[in-house]
Structure formats: C-alpha cells, structure tokens
Structure 1
Amino acid sequence: MKKLFFLFILLISTTFTYSQEDTTVKGVVINASEGIPLESVNIVNLNQVKGTITNARGEFEIKAKATDTLHFSYLGFKSIKVRVTNDWIKFGSSTIQLTELAFALEEVVINEFKLTGFLEVDIKQVPINTNYRYNISGLQTGYEAGGSSTNAVTRVLGAVFNPADFLYSMFGKQPNEMRKLKQMKQDDEIRTLLANRFDREMLTALLQVDRADLDEIIRQCNYSKNFIQTANDLQILDAISECYEEYKVLSRSKNKGRL
C-alpha cells in the first residue's frame, strides 16, 4: 500500500513539474500613448533566459511560469519588467503598454582633417583602430588589446598570475548568474537580440548588475576602453564568458601546483 501511495505522489509531482516547465504566456505590446501595436519589441524571461520579439501585430508568446519576470525593451521607449501570474497563464493574452522616452539629442562633434593633398602626409592623420587579441598557450582564447594599450603585454602576463578575481567576486557567490551566462550563450534567440544591441540594458537585467560593474568586469578581464565602448552586447557577453572560463582554467592550474 505504501509503495502505491509513494508511486501516486511521484506521478502527481512529476506531472505538476512538467506542466509548470511547459507553460507559456501570450500578449500584445502597444504604444501607451497611441494604442498601436509595436513590432520587434525585445522580450526576455529573466528567470529562464528565454527570448523572443513581437510580430507585426505586436503579438508574442514566450515560455514562462508563475513568478517569472519578463523584461520588455524597445528603442525610444522606457523598458519595463512584468511579473507572470497564475491568472495570466490561466486566462490567456495580456496587453503590455510601453511609454515613449523624451530625450534630447547629444551634440555631435566632427573633427576636421586638414588635408595637404599629399597622400603620404594625409594618411598619417587618419586614426587607425588596432584592436587585436593576444593568444596565450593553454588557454581557450586570448586577450584583446589595442594601440591605446601601451602596457598590453604586461597586462596579459599580469592576468595569468592574477586572474579575473573581480569577475569571481561579482559572480562567484551567485552560481545562478554564472549558469545564466551559459544559457544565454546557448539560446539563439537571446544571442540574436544581443547582437543588435549596444546599450547593455538587457545584459544588466539578465546578470543583475549595474552598468558600471559590467564595464569594470570587462576592464578587469583585460579588454581595452575602445572595445568596451564599441562592442555590441553579444560581444560583451562572449567576453565575460570567455574570461570566466579562463579564470577557472587558471584557478585549477594554481590549485594543482599547490598539491
């Protein structure tokens, strides 16, 4: 009798877990002031690290369960976070309203080159982007550096003997956030969304860090200021992930050396 009871409990819990994992929510995203649907709004489930975008009618469907948080972002509109409820899952579609941002355009300064007409002289005035990466034997990837990094080699060697401790201090006590990194790298939809973004907003929301800490992580991983300023969000994600993997390799090597 006890065996049958435990079998029944196991069956119920398995069915409940399965149903929880496979629930989805639907909705429509509209412009709050005009009431028109918004196409290509970025939507990310921050808990399950799943992403999608709205179609031409502003509609979306995304995998989610109760208490998950969805992050909605769209260029020129204020991003919002929405908590998934049991009622939303049970009763179907929901309407999400995004509010337009009011912002002033920053002044753009164009530097004028004084050309002489002599190619050999004029070519020296054109700034050259010399970003590149140093490869270190035994590591999966290398370290990016550039013309502005006068001590690039020293920084690379320093990274070998002093790995990315700042990265570990940020995420070492938060293993769930590091698991998110792996999930983000494996989800094609998330990678597509990040490849078209440069604002770091989705990354900071997913990793639960602010913009300053995110930039500091990349800097401590020996990436140049130019890379930090110009890389898209996907490149930043890959840089953080590579840095952490290298940190683990170096940490294991150090621990073996102490044995």
Structure 2
Amino acid sequence: MKTKISILLMVFFCQFNYAQIAKAKLIQGQVRNDIIPVENVIVFNTKDHTATNVNVYGSFEMMASVNDTLVFSSLVFKSKRIVLTEEDFIKPKIFVPLEVFTNELAEIVIKARKDMSPINGNTQRYVDLQYFGDEKSALKNSAMTPDGTIDKGTDFVRIYKGIINTLRKRNPEKTDFHKETSFSDYVIHHVDYSVLSNNLKLKDDEIKLFLVFCENDSKSRTLMGSNSEFQLLDFLTNKNKEFKKIITN
C-alpha cells in the first residue's frame, strides 16, 4: 500500500513539475536608453532563479512565465523590475527603458571602456547634452538635491569611484576593469538571485558592480568548476565584506 502511495505521489510530482516547465516560454526583449548605448546589463528572473546578459545591441532572451519578475542590474543604469504579463508573451519583443544614474557616471564608464565602439549617426545630441544641458534635456539623479548632496538615496558615483580606485591600487598595470569575463557569467548562471539579494544583502543596483569587483580578483578564475560550489560561495561572502566596507566609507 505504501509503495502504491509513493508511486502515485511521485507521478503527481512529476506531472506538477512538467506542468510548471510547460508554462515557461521563450521571451525576447531589448533594453533601451535615449542617451547612451545599453550593454553589460544582467537580467534576473527572480522566480525560477535564471539569469542572462544583454548583448551589445541591448537584446536578451530567456525562458519565463506570466507573473515572473525580471530584475535588470547594470553599472550605469538604475535597476528596474518588471512583472511579465500575458501581453508580453504575445509581442514579438518587449522593450524595457532604463534610466542613467547620472551623466557623470555614464561619462566615467564610457571613457574607461577601451573596447567601446565609436558612436555612429547623429552625434550632435551628445554634444548638446554635454555642453548645453538644461532643465528639460539634462539627466538628473533623483537621489540628489539641488545643492548636489544625497537626499535619502545612494551616491552611486561615489561608490563606483571608490570601487574602481581600490581596483587600481590592487592592479596598477590594469586599465580596463569593465571588460566582461567568464566569471561574471558563471556566477549569474550558477548562483541564485536570492543568494545575491537576500544572503549577501546586495541591492539590485549594486549586483553588477559587485561582480566586476569580484572578477578582478585573480582567485575568481579558479572557482569556475563543478567541485567549487562551496569555495565559490565562501569567496563571494568574503568579497562582499570587502565590497561593503568600500561603499560605506
């Protein structure tokens, strides 16, 4: 009798899992910004703990279901959360606008990227923005007050500079700290979003910068293997302590 009950429970469990998997569909999307090219953005599905990177054109695709929450994390752009609806799966592609933290941070990252492609097309809007930013056209950091201080917000320009300055001190011969490496990809595909968000207490806006900080440690290259799960989590925990010290100074 117990054997029959066990078999029935197993069959029910398998059918339930199959039904859950069957609901997942491929969704395609593109992240956009009207000022600068969008790249190096991580997209997390917080429900099924999957993640992917957008490509150089800002496009991405992943398996997802209705009511799944997607989180977008980047160095330059403010994080964004969207909840997928049935309508999103009918469209050929969903478009997700991202907002830049500040002009200053965007300029710092762009200048630091040695491998970044030149801007094509009409460049006058970039010139106008740089030299003639006004109330209507210039980007604002909603966390900043008119006198430039932080009002109930986080100064990500300061945090970014602090992290990069620390990396420069540790790697004086290195100039490009933003080039994507396999470690960042490895983490987002092998470590749940909940670990980064709940266990390490990282804000959505901090995740990408934290991974850049980690991947510039040479030890990270040795942790990308099936037998290194415990060591990887231990490494991330210790790096997070260093990361928190820098961003709170």
- Regarding TM over 0.5, the answer is no
Return the structure number with greater relative CO, CA threshold 8 A, min gap 6: 2
Q: TM-score, normalised by structure 2?
A: 0.40
If you compute each CA radius of gyration, which structure gives the higher value, 1 or 2?
A: 1
TM-score (norm 1): 0.38
